[in-house]
Structure 1
Amino acid sequence: MKKLTTTFAIIALCFISCKKEVKTEEPTPKAVDGVKTEEPVVEEPLDSAAQMKAWVAYATPSAAHKLMADEVGTWNCDMTFWSEPNGKAEKATSTANIKMVLGGRYQEASYQGTMMGQPFEGKSTLAYNNASEEYTTTFIDNMGTGMMVAMGKYDEKTKSMELKGEMVNPVNGEKTPYREVYTIVDPKTRKMEMYDVKNGSEFKSMEIIMTKK
């Protein structure tokens, strides 16, 4: 911990030394094409100790990271897909190997299985940002060339995380919203549900039941 504190002290001091002098007076209106606009309000400067404390808090794994670390291990995934509302369900299976990386600050999962008769491989990351108090998840696989990114928060009452993002429809090239709900059912069971939008209406497009080996 002493080494970590020293590292962030150096970062904070470098940040201070490189930062330009900040003005604290009230913003003065400017005229642009005859229309008055105000300069952006500048932030009050922090002393080096306060900055170092903030950086250390930002970089130190928290209770949220402990929640992520509880999932380290191998999981069997029973996957169900729907291509349209009330459509026929399609099944697939995969195995997820989950680990924590970069000093317990991020969760990384590797998926392998079979989908639509083809070998399936995917990777996801999960991060909890101590500063914004939000989760961010990313996902890539061998079934496409895009990255899915979603953000959201965890609800302790429902033991679930709701994350929202956008994905590009490869058919028309347009961005469409999607929503993911990740639920901690019990210590050895997780449920992930994904909701897509088609013709302006949301529908459940995927459900994965994960069981820890």
Structure 2
Amino acid sequence: MRQLFSLDLLAIIFSFGCLPLMFLPSLLCDYQWYVIVLILIVIILIVPSKFQNYVIIITVFSISFLWSVAYSKQYLTKIEPYIDKTIMVKAEVETINTQFSTSSTDPYPVKFAINDDSQPLLYPKVTISVYWDQQIKPKTGQIWQLTLKTKVVHGYLNEGGFDSQRFAMANRNLLSAKLIQAELLEDNLSIRQLIADYTLPYIDLFTYQGILIALAFGDRSHMVDEHRIIMMQTGVA
């Protein structure tokens, strides 16, 4: 009995409860969610004690499924006001700036966390990936006022291809935006950015600077195609 309901087994059952989200064509409505909760309560109350082991398994699986559905609906509800609109928001930079050149205007994605004054205690905050094309580069911890043209990441119907929409939702980064205007409000840099600013001049002296930046700060944008291909072929990536 002790081994049957170990923490490892309960964690595996809980993980299986999240799997239906990969196959559901749409999330459950509130009515369906409450019906499942009611059925679960009835099962717990009326099933004889000799079937208690099965009840525990069903309960853990159902709680995991209900929680994953509720969590997904909460995220979609939070980002809905920002989809396909031109908006002005105050947001904090989350992406570490690892750009060596400050004069380049080639657009690159920068992740922001939107500060919602109406819900200051809301966590986690809604994040949005902004294609930055300004000469001034944002750094982690700064607060910017942004005027954005937003859109949501879309997936493709090709079953054999990469599902970018599912990947974006799993990483809570379903929103992207084109930058219209930006104004720096607060220039408070995070510890991560201060460390990056201090170490980048030294990393720039090495031949494999792209790999070092990827390992140190998680930014793979500096890696050359040759190194990307090698890491993909060897499974290191």
When the two structures are superposed, what TM-score results if normalisation uses the length of structure 2? Answer: 0.24
> Which of structures 1 and 2 has the larger relative contact order (alpha carbons within 8 angstroms, sep 6+)?
2
| The structure with more strand, counted as a fraction of residues | 1
| The structure with more helix, counted as a fraction of residues | 2
